[in-house]
Amino acid sequence: MAPPPLLLLQDIRLMFGTTPLLGGATLSVSPGERLALIGRNGSGKSTLLKIAAGEAQADSGTRFLQPGATVRYLPQEPDLSSYANVMAYVETGLTAGDDPYRAQYLLEQLGLTGEEKPANLSGGEARRAALARALAPSPDILLLDEPTNHLDLPAIEWLEQEIASMRSALVLISHDRRFLEKLTREMVWLDRGVTRRLARGFAHFEAWRDEVLEQEEQEAHKLDRQIVREEHWMRYGVTARRKRNVRRVAELAGLRQQRRERKAAQGGVRMAAAESEASGTLVISAENIRKAYGDRVVVDDFSTRIIRGDRVGIVGPNGAGKTTLLSMLTGTLAPDSGEVKLGTNLEMVTLDQRRAALDPNTTVAQSLTDGRGDQVWVNGQPRHVIGYMKDFLFGPEQARTPVSALSGGERGRLLLARAFATPSNLLVLDEPTNDLDLETLDLLQEQIAEYSGTVIVVSHDRDFLDRVATDVIAWEGEGQWQDYPGGYSDMVAQRGHGVRAREDAARKSTPAPAAAKPAAAAAPARKKLSFKDQHELDTLPAKMRKLEAEAAKLKEILADPGLYARDRARFDKATELLARSEAQLAEAEERWLELEMLREEAEG
């Protein structure tokens, strides 16, 4: 018998202005379940998650939470304004029995110290603090809304491992396919205000969704045919007598009402890039380029050649210099040394991750027409701005909506609409997948595949890179960059690991003492133990004493000379447990010795 749900939402209904956002949605979360909440941008996923967290109220419906169950929620826009610093904010998520070291450990892993003041945090830093607060207590239910936003590849892969090791039930909203595949086992699809559930992993979701939509189309076709038959009867089926059959008239009225109320599936994004004349065969040639800011070398002696039709991905941790390298390759930033040559007949369009090309004070229509008239020119042909907006899922009523009022996903689609309306043969995409839903991502990938020009893309989305990239330029540490053929997975197979954090890569790339210059032969600076290591060092002695006591007790049992003949099963079990305890004790003692040596080295 299945355990009762920890959290249950039933028949949740909510109006957004005069438009129904949720029209009878349900959500059930049982212990240990791992659910992905999937849906289009604007379908109400974040709102439903807020209602599940108790942060928002529905117009109607019920929310039930098991007494004593703990819930932690990661919002897209956390508010830290009432806290003295980040550590104070994270610690409020802990309960009496939680490990106080865990808050510092999580902040350290997410690149924060805890001393940061909320007023000085960027949006990304605030979300990382909120993520640490949600994970710190290991709650019964974890509700995460786009947790990978503003995280680089090393942090995303760390987060995957951290969540996978937790026992919490999980409800996850994310556009990162790889992240969803690794962490979720069931799908909840929110579509047109209602939810459907698939008891299989994300790999099966898209085929199932297409089957559901195809079945809906068939049922809609049957309904239309039935209405046609009834209307024909109304006109021609009663020529012998003029009195209408009241029951059939009522049935026809009901069928017409059913058709009016039927919500058609939202149309897909229709994007096509306006392409200019072909560029020369050689698009970009970089020879021994170098860039440094003070003592920090960002790019050191890097060379590459990009040929027409290449799709080049650039990967690395935050702060590695991906945007700097991209700017040098595209000619917007001069290298300190070396040379970059751009090919002939290049027409470049850039999509900036900061959405800087969008003026928040203009409307959607003005952003597409540059404020000139009501037409957009695509591939040399005029199109009315309303029709072009519909291709990117904007309704006619949004034509006068200010850019500042758009969601992150809507701003992303608007920027794509602008970029694809401009003739180009070189697309430069800096984090294009941010805030896009899965359907829009699919179409963006298809468009890049069909684009006859050249594409350079900076992304932290592993699945996106696997689908579009023909080459990957990866950061190797200390200003070193290496070109690998293939997508992200091909790069991992060639180098033996994914993108490392800056600190890890710095340790890997540190030269051997013999290779160091005489002036640099001084002893390296001592590094303090991390909070995680210090916590482990503090707790290992108690763990070792417990293991020693267990081993002593088992040895007493096995000391009985008649045990083997009297109770063979107990003898075998005790022998097995003793071997396990002694192995764990040896491992703990070795780890304690390693940490103690590190501590002594750090303290000099």
323 annotated to bind ligand: yes
Which candidate, 146, 125, 123, places its Cα nearest to that of 436? 146
* Buried residues in 97-123 as b, exposed as e (16+ CB within 10 A): ebeebbbbbbbebbbbebebebeebee
44 annotated to bind ligand: yes
- 13 phi and psi angles, rounded to 5 deg: -125, 140
41 annotated to bind ligand: yes
CA distance 13 to 21: 8
Structure tokens at 362: 């203009």
Q: Measured in Å, how far apart are the chain's first and last C-alpha atoms?
A: 59
320 annotated to bind ligand: yes
CA distance 388 to 271: 9
45 annotated to bind ligand: yes
CA distance 79 to 168: 24
Count Cβ atoms within 10 A of the Cβ of residue 309 and give its class: 0-12 exposed, 13-18 middle, 19 or more buried: middle
46 annotated to bind ligand: yes
CA distance 110 to 130: 11
321 annotated to bind ligand: yes
319 annotated to bind ligand: yes
Helix (H) or strand (E) holding 381: strand 381-384
Indicate the SS3 state at residue 297. Answer: strand
CA distance 332 to 328: 6
568 annotated to bind ligand: no
CA distance 585 to 592: 10
CA distance 227 to 593: 81
CA distance 70 to 452: 52
Pairing of strands 7-16, 480-485: unpaired
Residues of the binding site: 39-46, 316-323
Residues of the binding site for ATP: 39-46, 316-323
